[in-house]
Structure 1
């Protein structure tokens, strides 16, 4: 690659290959930054970061799971096919379960 050439085309090709050969890693939002890093992210409660474990099997390495107050963040940073890749998920803790028939106080009640 020439010194002045953009790294984004390589990342675009890598993303196309990744999504074509591994459609099972759906649910991530993908972007390519100006430095050519392929970035995948997901925010929500479902899965608790398991998709990053799936990505690690494809991309290699071990994801880092950080749990805080029942929620957490899972991240994986690697190089795949010569392209830097950062994949992460953040999730919140699910609402606590209440026993069936529990009566909640009205808003503003003490």
Structure 2
């Protein structure tokens, strides 16, 4: 148990440093696992998951998984080690729909 506490403390300190020095990453929801892994996530955002590229720039590493569906939505993930702490960041995103011409009929499901 002491090693878990030590790992969590290290991850907590790393998170404090990360938020202090890179406030732009505060848009992610950050959590610590019981074994000291730092997890960042963001769901259902518009765009193409650009925050993952910013995380890679700050934390190092290369996104390990990027998927885009036919509708432009997707998932991006980064797994890396920063200051001795295992970090996993993931985001789901959707590309904004193109604007509709005035008077366009919206599908019954309320789609965009």
**Common fold, TM-score beyond 0.5?**
yes
Paired with 2:61 and 2:23, the residues of 1 have a C-alpha distance of 20
Query: Shift in Å at residue 8 of structure 1?
Result: 0.5
Contact 2:46–2:94 at 8 Å: present in 1 too?
no
Aligned length: 105
Q: Give per-residue Cα distances to partners, 1:45-89, cap 9 Å, x unaligned.
A: 323210110010011122232111210001000010100000010
Paired with 2:62 and 2:52, the residues of 1 have a C-alpha distance of 9
Max radius of gyration: which structure? 1
TM (norm. structure 1) is 0.83
TM (norm. structure 2) is 0.81
Contact 1:45–1:94 at 8 Å: present in 2 too?
no
CA RMSD between the two structures: 2.1
